[in-house]
């Protein structure tokens, strides 16, 4: 009789373990579905150029669904896309401002009535700083283009391994 009780004890333990594993699998699938909905929402916000809301949605996805690894992997690309598109928009608008300031500077003279034109040199300094900022924005955009290419190639590698 004691050996039969041991056997029943092991079978209950095994059954409990199987139920727990099944529950974990169902929980992971539910997390993937819920995270997928958030990812879809972030992509819709991105299409609407609502970058901050899209970024916040991705961060929420990461916080609330840490086990939804497949969706989180796709969210990385979406987050990089958010950064890239927002930076490109910033570059375009900043370039317009920079061009206006360049035109203003081109109309100025370094000397007026034989005296140093302080406004000219102030504009020159401003243009230099603006050009530096513009170059940084362009470098940021290039960084995200390269990062997206790398992330996509890594995603293909992961898919090929499966």
| DSSP secondary structure letters along 44-112 | HHHHTT-HHHHHHHHHHHHHH-TT-HHHHHHHHHHHHHHHHHHHHHHHHHHHHHHHHHHHHHHT--SEE
| Cα distance between the two ends of the chain | 48
The whole-chain average pLDDT of the chain stands at 85
φ, ψ of residue 139 in degrees (nearest 5)? -65, -40
Residues β-bridged to residue 43:
none
Q: What's the rounded mean pLDDT across residues 98-121?
A: 90
Looking at residue 30, its pLDDT comes to: 80
Element at 16 (helix H, strand E):
helix 2-47
Looking at residue 25, its pLDDT comes to: 52
47-89 pLDDT, tens digit each: 999 999 999 999 999 999 998 888 998 999 999 999 999 999 9
Task: Quote the pTM value.
Answer: 0.73
Inform me whether the pLDDT recorded for 134 exceeds 50: yes
How far is residue 144's CA from residue 162's CA, in Å, rounded to a whole number?
27
Q: How confident is the model at residue 152 (pLDDT cuts 50, 70, 90)?
A: confident
């Amino acid at each position: 009789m004691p050996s039969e009780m041991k056997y029943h004890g092991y079978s209950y333990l095994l059954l409990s373990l199987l139920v727990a594993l099944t529950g974990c699998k169902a929980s992971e699938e539910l997390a993937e579905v819920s995270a997928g909905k958030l990812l879809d929402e972030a992509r819709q916000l991105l299409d609407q150029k609502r970058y901050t809301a899209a970024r916040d949605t991705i961060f929420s996805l990461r916080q609330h669904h840490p086990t939804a690894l497949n969706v989180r992997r796709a969210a990385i690309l979406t987050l990089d896309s958010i950064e890239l598109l927002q930076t490109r928009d910033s570059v375009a608008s900043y370039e317009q401002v920079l061009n206006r300031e360049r035109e203003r500077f081109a109309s100025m003279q370094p000397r007026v009535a034989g005296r140093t034109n302080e406004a000219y040199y102030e504009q020159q300094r401003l243009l230099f700083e603006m050009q530096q900022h513009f170059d940084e924005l362009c470098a940021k955009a290039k960084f995200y283009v390269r990062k997206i290419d790398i992330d996509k190639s890594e995603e293909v590698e992961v898919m090929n391994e499966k």
